[in-house]
Amino acid sequence: MASEENKKKAPNKGKAPEEKKSENKKAQSPLKKSIKNPFVYIGTIVILVLTIIAFVLIPGVSTGTSSGKVPTFGSWNGTPIQYSSDSYFADQVSQINEYLRQQGMNETQSQMYAYQVWRMAFQNTAIRTAILDYTKRSGMKISEQTLDEEVAKNAQFQVDGKFSIEKYNSTPLATRISIRDRLRDDLLVQNYYNDVMSLSPSTKEIDFVSSMAKPQRTIQYVHISYEAFPQEKVLEWAKSNEALFRTIGLSKITITTSQKDAEKVLAQIKANTLSFEDAAKSHSKDSYADKGGDMGIKAFYDLKGEFLNEKDAEAVMALKKDEISPIYKGANNTWVFYRVNAEANSPDFSKQSVLDEVKSYLFDKEKSVMESWALAKADEFTKEASKAPFTAAAKKVGLEVKSAGPFILNYGKPSFYFYGQQIGLFQEPYRSLDNELIGAEENETFLTTLFSTSKNAVSKPVVLDASVIVMTVIDDKEGTDQETSYTKFSYPYFFQTAMENQIRSTILSSSLLKDDFNSTFAKLFIPAQK
């Protein structure tokens, strides 16, 4: 930990994004460094579209609730995390809003957007509160002389770029004390991060990590896609599971209040005092209500998911045209009943559209059937490859040989943010990569197999997302020191990012943090929307 006397301001290297320097320093956005994938980052910006919304939705929060109490969103080790107009929490909300304004976002009133902004502001405040608690318990202090120097630099007391004693004396005492306290906290947090970030990886650790980029392997491979699952196999499976693809035309009414209400609606329909269509439009609460309850044609595999008991779905399938089912208990405290518009029919597997539906069902629900076929095909090829060259064996079993690589050991593609840009820890060599192998380099089984198979040997089959591949290593070389020097340079920055993330994760998952954010947010925001 830092000594009793804090050091003069060190560079902000490694400083966590949610912590700021003193008030007179330009604030860095908490969004920039906390998001690692640029596509996720862009998505987050879209989700967080918000400018002044936080204050529009709950006017009066800055001075407390209608009861006069300052909103409390949780606590850290007994210290409340509260929102008030002069709090760090409020600053965080304001800074996130300001950041979004600078991105050219338009004002919008969305409760979800507000939730995201306030949630991030709460988490940043919780982390700051925890760090201040750590520094207090460790005995870390800031000298009065250092505080005097920081106060003199504060923009509120500057005139023409210099400290003005007149402006300082004319500022209310309470404001001066508040500024001094905030500066003290800022310096404590800064010193905490300076101490933590003074840790650095050893030379041996850097050498070990950079050596992971040295082995570079190029492969030939055969690819067996589930998309190539034979039509005759689709038909064979379909005939064995014919009942799943029976179809029926239905209308449906969903009641969300009680079973008695459902019984009343059903009784009116049966007494011909209310048509099924009008009952659906006036009483049903589902996506079919506006269409008079018409669900169209439903396959049994789809219909059975609506029932708590599959036998009830079978009972509906057995109904005749225009018959109405009993009332069934549905999910989420609903009560439903159906009318048959077209009786159940067996599937016509002579139609290509039906077989296409079966194949789609297999891919979505029974992918293991396709996987077993692909693995059997891969085993057939492997046996041939044990007796003949790789290319000849592929030709014999009707598979195409492709090449890809070189690959390095870059599992998970670790990365970090550096000056607002996402940087990979390893510099990937230029390589050819067909679409079927995109993402394979992030597959643990693929990399393990790739780097454990001897050169020119045939690998075991590897299951990817929707295919199986068998490979052979055709080139195995070591990367140059120049190629791995990038990783040696970047790893310390990656190390610091990992440290920051660990601090954040440890605090936010600690038992010392009492998180009442959702309940407090709901009390403040949701009533204001009614």
pLDDT tens across 258-268, in order? Answer: 999 999 999 99
| 178 neighbors 86 (Cβ within 8 angstroms) | yes
CB-based burial, 225-257: b 16+ in 10 Å, e otherwise: ebeebeeeebbebbeebeebbbbbbbbbbbbbe
Tell me the C-alpha distance between 424 and 414, whole Å: 6
Tokens at 382, concatenated: 């492997």
Give pLDDT, residue 67: 53
pLDDT in tens, 116-128: 889 999 999 999 9
Residues of the chain with pLDDT under 50: 1-60, 62-64, 106-107, 109, 528-530
Tell me the C-alpha distance between 344 and 323, whole Å: 12
Tell me the C-alpha distance between 343 and 318, whole Å: 8
Q: Please report the domains of the chain, with CATH numbers, ordered by start residue.
A: 20-139+513-530 (no CATH), 140-189 (no CATH), 215-228+353-478 (no CATH), 247-345 (3.10.50.40)
Angle between helices 173-197 and 144-153 (to 10 degrees): 110
- Kindly report the pTM of this predicted structure: 0.66
Burial of residue 421 (number of CB atoms within 10 Å: 0-12, 13-18, 19+) = exposed
Give pLDDT, residue 77: 95
Tell me the C-alpha distance between 386 and 380, whole Å: 10
Give pLDDT, residue 527: 53
Q: Which long-range contacts (CB under 8 A, 24 or more apart) does 399-402 make?
A: 399/222, 399/223, 399/224, 400/222, 400/223, 401/220, 401/221, 401/222, 402/220, 402/221, 402/222, 402/223, 402/434
From residue 394, how far is each of 35, 103, 231, 300, 511 by CA, in Å?
A: 44, 54, 21, 41, 58
What residues does 223 pair with on adjacent strands? 469
Give pLDDT, residue 331: 85
What residues does 345 pair with on adjacent strands? 247
| 110 neighbors 131 (Cβ within 8 angstroms) | no
Instruction: Give first-to-last CA distance, the chain, whole Å.
Output: 50
Return the closest-CA partner of residue 116 out of 97, 130, 131, 135: 97
Give pLDDT, residue 41: 39
Tokens at 304, concatenated: 């059975």
Give pLDDT, residue 113: 74
Tokens 């905490």 appear where? 192
Instruction: List, as one string, the DSSP characters of 63-97.
Output: G--TTSPPPEEEEETTEEEE--TTSHHHHHHHHHH
Give pLDDT, residue 111: 64
Return the closest-CA partner of residue 13 out of 182, 199, 206: 199
